[in-house]
Structure 1
């Protein structure tokens, strides 16, 4: 009999956040330094919100690989108000996407910290990088928590979104994809989610964003910001490539109830609109924000879209929700060349 475990909501207090530091020069090429600058922006917003002279955010565990990456990380730390707020941690990461490769931190029935992990197959076999399938074990050991693997489900942390009270949102495009769980019924997947993260109610969305290498991760399309309250995106511009998908997401969420039986309150913020790399749509998303202890870090994509009004409006709406006092916008265009943004490279460790 598996003991009870539940993933706390992201707005719950954190002891630390694990962040991937761009380390693979062969993968990032010309975007390596720009991606590192964007991660530095994230680190500053998380550890030193609202321009504080000293630390009042959360500690950063910076996961990196190799001497060159460590030297670059140390140079970044030297620029910070309090370098000790960031601790470099060497691990054989294939790439920086700790939301997907790292452990999902949970609490057990006694409120003790533990961790869950699903079977990882390189996002449906598309990006199989050495050691990424055991990073969850390595990070859990570094955090000194016991990891339980749920090998019956191929999934990534970015595929699930929780409210901390037993509700999970996910997508059929990802978890029912033949490249992950071929032929698996929804009920079978829901049973694993209940055991792994405490899901009492699973809300299924259909599809994710165009060009999303993850096959529709939910952290690009719908996020809880409070119990019973979920944020999604509305299309921006007449050429938004995700207009139909975004409208379908809003409709599904508006008709859904959570584990407590509440009808969801749905808040829309504008999408970044049409973003292209090499002429193809990429999954630029204002949903890929990270909720830290004292700040909410919102990714923007002005270098790709050439337009900041949607990001400014998105930030204003999130500020009005009072999820966090400090809502910080940081351009994430270089990170998006690798397929993701700030939520994708973070994994919060509950207090």
Structure 2
């Protein structure tokens, strides 16, 4: 029997965090994104009270920049396309073995050299056994509570751009076989304009066994129907739903709606780190998440520059559960 991955709130030995490395991808946002990543990493490290931080840089130039700005971190040099290690990195199961799923650039949208092999390379370099899995799955597409219960979205896992036209039954069988995930809560769509095709870590996160946090729509929130549908499905499934304020309507410099979400927080050993966007609900979101994690310090940091690349703190990190 395959043991499910420990929940994110279980103890970690370390965390991999992607460090922005390619100027041609980030352009004028490169340095601001690096500053936001370092602030996130420092909060997770928590002066040594948290967990070891493994900053992953794609080349020697980026590694030098990471060392200069994050002396508390260990620097790992491994070529990659971009920093979204939640999706390209390995998923460690309850047996301590790294599951290395196939990766196709989020359904063929962003095919960058190194992203399809970074998972196995990180695990091998860390002395972790690797088991290859024969289908496409990104870590941000699933979230579990450690008991075998997992939440995902139909928009992503049933999307033909990942694994052809696998049925619900076939996807559930593979989640069970490879990750020990025996019960699947299917939500519908993810956030508007999310290029991952609706990753669940922007929409709904487990914060305890059978307890799921889902945003509460703010005024003029473009995702209000999505949040309403997600909460209704979760409650019908029998999950305890708690609501977190949403940042609401967030626009980029071109006045386009972006998938900004407080749900992309990272649960570390000492701290829970929440992405902020300068919205009226920023402090209310921190307070609501703090109430869910009284044994950890909940802190928020701006993630505007990271979001220009399409994600936030949870997207750029992958924890190594204690073994």
Structure-1-length-normalised TM-score:
0.89
Is the contact made by 1:6 and 1:199 (CA closer than 8 Å) also made in structure 2? yes
Counterparts of 1:65 and 1:131, CA distance in 2: 9
Residue 139 of structure 1, CA deviation: 0.8
Q: Give secondary structure in 2 for the equivalent of 1:60.
A: strand
Q: Does the alignment pair 1:7 with 2:43?
A: no
Q: Name the residue aligned to 2:33.
A: 35
Residue 302 of structure 2, aligned match among 331, 334, 342: 331
Counting matched residue pairs gives: 321
1:143-197 superposed Cα distances (whole Å, 9 cap, x missing partner): 211111211x212000010000000101110011121122211110111111222
Q: Name the residue aligned to 1:275.
A: 250
Q: Does the alignment pair 1:293 with 2:273?
A: no
Q: Does the alignment pair 1:141 with 2:116?
A: no
Q: Does the alignment pair 1:225 with 2:211?
A: no
Q: Name the residue aligned to 2:110.
A: 127
Counterparts of 1:66 and 1:321, CA distance in 2: 38
Q: Give secondary structure in 1 for the equivalent of 2:205.
A: strand
Residue 314 of structure 1, aligned match among 281, 285, 303: 285
**Residue ranges of structure 1 left out of the alignment (5+ in a row):** 49-53, 257-262
Residue 19 of structure 1, aligned match among 14, 17, 20: 17
Q: Give secondary structure in 2 for the equivalent of 1:281.
A: coil
Moved more, 216-225 or 64-73: 64-73
Counterparts of 1:333 and 1:315, CA distance in 2: 17
Counterparts of 1:178 and 1:201, CA distance in 2: 22
Is the contact made by 2:123 and 2:130 (CA closer than 8 Å) also made in structure 1? yes
Counterparts of 2:53 and 2:261, CA distance in 1: 23
Q: Give secondary structure in 1 for the equivalent of 2:119.
A: helix
1:19-71 superposed Cα distances (whole Å, 9 cap, x missing partner): 000001100000000001101110111001xxxxx411100011101222112
Q: Name the residue aligned to 1:94.
A: 81
Is the contact made by 1:219 and 1:287 (CA closer than 8 Å) also made in structure 2? yes
Is the contact made by 1:16 and 1:349 (CA closer than 8 Å) also made in structure 2? yes
Is the contact made by 1:150 and 1:192 (CA closer than 8 Å) also made in structure 2? no
CA RMSD between the two structures: 1.1
Is the contact made by 1:5 and 1:195 (CA closer than 8 Å) also made in structure 2? no
Q: Name the residue aligned to 1:259.
A: none
Q: Give secondary structure in 2 for the equivalent of 1:343.
A: coil
Is the contact made by 1:208 and 1:245 (CA closer than 8 Å) also made in structure 2? yes
Q: Does the alignment pair 1:60 with 2:31?
A: no
Counterparts of 2:289 and 2:87, CA distance in 1: 25
Map 1:91-240; keep pairs closer than 5 Å: 91-108=78-95, 113-151=96-134, 153-237=135-219, 239-240=220-221
Counterparts of 2:281 and 2:78, CA distance in 1: 37
1:82-126 superposed Cα distances (whole Å, 9 cap, x missing partner): x2xx11000011110000000001122xxxx11112211000000
Is the contact made by 2:191 and 2:202 (CA closer than 8 Å) also made in structure 1? yes
Q: Give secondary structure in 2 for the equivalent of 1:133.
A: coil
Rate the CA distance shift 1:74–1:150 in 2: closer, same or farther, 3 A: same
Counterparts of 1:338 and 1:243, CA distance in 2: 24
1:291-340 superposed Cα distances (whole Å, 9 cap, x missing partner): 000110000111xxxx2x31211111111122542001010010000000
Is the contact made by 1:98 and 1:344 (CA closer than 8 Å) also made in structure 2? yes
Q: Give secondary structure in 2 for the equivalent of 1:275.
A: coil
**Residue ranges of structure 2 left out of the alignment (5+ in a row):** none
